[in-house]
Structure 1
Amino acid sequence: MTMNDRASTAVHAATADDTQGATAQTAPSAPNPTPTLPPLKVAILGAGRIAVSMARTLTMMAADDRYRTLVDPYAVASRDQARADAFAKEHGLPKAYGSYEAMLADPEVDLVYIATPHSLHAKQAIACMRAGKHVLVEKAFALNVEQARAMIDVSEDTGRFCGEAIWTRFMPSRLLVDEALSAGEIGDVTAVHANLCYPMTHKARLKDPRLGGGALLDVGVYPLNFIDMVLGERELRRLDTTMVTFPTGVDAQNSTTLVYANDTMATAYSSMMNASDRDGRVDGTEGYLVCRNINDIEGIDIYGTDHELKRHVDVPAQLTGYEYEVKAAVRAIRAGRRDCPEMTHADTLRMMALMDRIRREWGLHYPTEDDAVDGTADAD
């Protein structure tokens, strides 16, 4: 399934939601009004940088006619009550909790956005679902595929939604890329290349192997997901990968080459040591397509084999970019789904398994990845 197949599935799902309940009657005598569902009350677990971005997003959605019926920005939980109080005050959240156990005890919470270090995701998501909450888990979903499977198993057992919040999977730019590829604007796809790098060694979390630090789980997920969205699930014939080790033992930068059974190739590069152009490029038999900044696509340029620009594609204006994953999660929850069509559980497991394989080639094992996850863990 390609990027277009999954994106189209999501679009069709949205259309189905909008038309659900229509009847074959041509002139109903007394049409029933469409019931208005209450917005989901969303709590944020963690109070770091990405939590701030989500709080801003939820506040903007609640004030926007397109999204106000979806979410109600409700609470934040942190292991520091003072930090939670300050966060709630800054972002206008009614509730602030000094532990995630206190937040889970609140029956008003419908959906929890987990914005803590990677090493806490599995344990916290499982606890949330066992408490009856739906969860939207920031990437990387977990430390490894075993933890991811445990989370998904609990999702199935409890009937709670458990989705991975990798925002690029939900953005309109995804469909724009696929429309160009499906139209044959660059011919048959032969290779995909993607990179994402930021100088981030000043962040303690990224240097700590116990927290799943390093480039791969933080920024490397984006090049790998970009490749997966373009090529879809297909047999991997060969994987070659290497990394440069940071003094703490995590990967400082890494490069991976993937060769598939149909001879399509892909390369992914990520680093926490330096900046890069952040581009994604799709090569074809009749040209190539360039996405400017795969972490939040700013524009799409399509070239011919003569390297002349054939077409530029603008991307739609957005609130912050995070609104799309939230909208998709709410839509999935209301439809009774356990995941989103834009990023299914199968997609998450495939990406986690790929990153596990890459780390095995490096000999990188996180000290906490074998810890029990069906328990409790403090919020960040």
Structure 2
Amino acid sequence: MLIRWGICSVGKISHDFTVALKTLSPEHHQVVAVAARDLKRAQEFARTHDIPRVHGSYEALAKDQEIDVVYVGAIHPHHLRLGVLFMNLGKNVLCEKPLAMNLREVQELIATAKRNNVFLMEAVWTRFFPASLEISRLLSQSAVGEVKMVRADFGVPIMQTARSVQKELGGGALLDIGIYCLQFVLMVYNGEKPEGVQATGVCLDTGVDEGMIVTLKFSGNRMAVCICTIAAELQNEAVIAGTKGTVKIPAHMWCPTSLMVNGVETQYPVPEPALPLNFINSTGMRYEAEEVRQCLLEGLKESSRMSHADSALLAEIMDEARRQVGVVYSQDNQ
């Protein structure tokens, strides 16, 4: 089955996603159209990636009858509007994380998908890496005993980037990178809702969080700690501590290519890109793209590995963490 992709927005992440698709069989995945608000940028993107059709508006992309799935690579304040636009015209959607700005918006997107009987998935690419699949397998076999503590940190100095610090662009550490730490914890604990959420953080003058620490308490005396910052480089690792051992992602926890199980390391390299990438290990986005294809082959409207319930719980926890730290976006008041 061939999946015909449309690319919405032509920023850095859309470039990397399109490069990642080229590592898959052209009999299974093809990018057939791209759209941007700036037609010239869309045309340049199309030339770079050999995409046959170019649209100068997202509305035109939504009406393109030759597309099976739209990849939404726009910044997250636009996810709700664009997701609704595409799904209302019958398009399946893979939307970059965070799926939306808050739980209310996430629920609206999920309801729109169900109303139109289309596929919708939040592009939390981490969950589909071979290393992540191996983690789930190990935990299902109780390879480290009962999990008692999970720790994940993600910090990179990106405050010079406008979209990272400006509130109207959805800036802030939690929504941009802290989400990776939280989703990892929820993956380990099988989507269980925590009994308690405690968050502390520091905010910039723009009103977004520069850094945040979120502590989660789960049933059975199990806990997790997530640390994120856009002001400094952290270890960017994740550790699962059980009663009989540990599983560790030693680096790049959001796009893992190695895993340490009780001190023994195994590598899971991603394919080499055909074009230069903007972000590390970006060809690993191939795994989420293939998940979309497999779901469509099976007639599914959501992925069991990153379900609608997973996205809703993730948004609910981030809403509560932001409330405690005092980060409020305009979308929270609508």
User: Partner residue of 2:312?
Assistant: 349
Listed one character per residue, the Cα deviations across residues 219-259 of structure 1 (whole Å, up to 9, x for unaligned) are 00111011111112335232221111012110011101111
- Counterpart CA distance in 1 for 2:208 and 2:78 is 17
CA displacement at 1:115 relative to structure 2:
0.4
The reply on whether 1:280 has 2:233 as its aligned counterpart is: no
Tell me the matched-pair count.
323
Letter paired with 2:302:
D
What SS does the aligned partner of 2:184 have? helix
User: Partner residue of 2:130?
Assistant: 172
The share of aligned pairs that are identical, in percent, is 30
User: Partner residue of 1:76?
Assistant: 34
Equivalent residue for 1:339, pick from 285, 297, 302 = 302
- Counterpart CA distance in 2 for 1:76 and 1:353 is 32
Please list every run of 5 or more consecutive structure 2 residues that lacks an aligned counterpart in the other structure. Answer: 273-282
Alignment check: 8 A CA contact 1:211 1:368 kept: no
What SS does the aligned partner of 1:289 have? strand
Equivalent residue for 1:300, pick from 256, 259, 281 = 259
Alignment check: 8 A CA contact 2:202 2:325 kept: no
Equivalent residue for 2:107, pick from 140, 146, 149 = 149
User: Partner residue of 1:213?
Assistant: 171
TM-score normalized by the length of structure 2: 0.92
User: Partner residue of 2:208?
Assistant: 250
Equivalent residue for 2:286, pick from 323, 337, 343 = 323
Alignment check: 8 A CA contact 1:257 1:268 kept: yes
Alignment check: 8 A CA contact 2:215 2:223 kept: yes
CA displacement at 1:75 relative to structure 2:
1.5
Listed one character per residue, the Cα deviations across residues 111-169 of structure 1 (whole Å, up to 9, x for unaligned) are 11000111100110110011121110000000011111111111111111111111011
Letter paired with 1:56:
V
Alignment check: 8 A CA contact 2:197 2:317 kept: no
Please list every run of 5 or more consecutive structure 1 residues that lacks an aligned counterpart in the other structure. Answer: 1-36, 62-66, 304-308, 372-380
Equivalent residue for 2:145, pick from 187, 195, 201 = 187
- Counterpart CA distance in 1 for 2:270 and 2:57 is 36
TM-score normalized by the length of structure 1: 0.82
- 235 and 317 in structure 1: CA distance in 2 versus 1, 3 angstrom threshold: closer
CA displacement at 1:333 relative to structure 2:
1.9
Higher mean C-alpha deviation, range 207-216 or range 221-230: 207-216
CA displacement at 1:369 relative to structure 2:
4.1
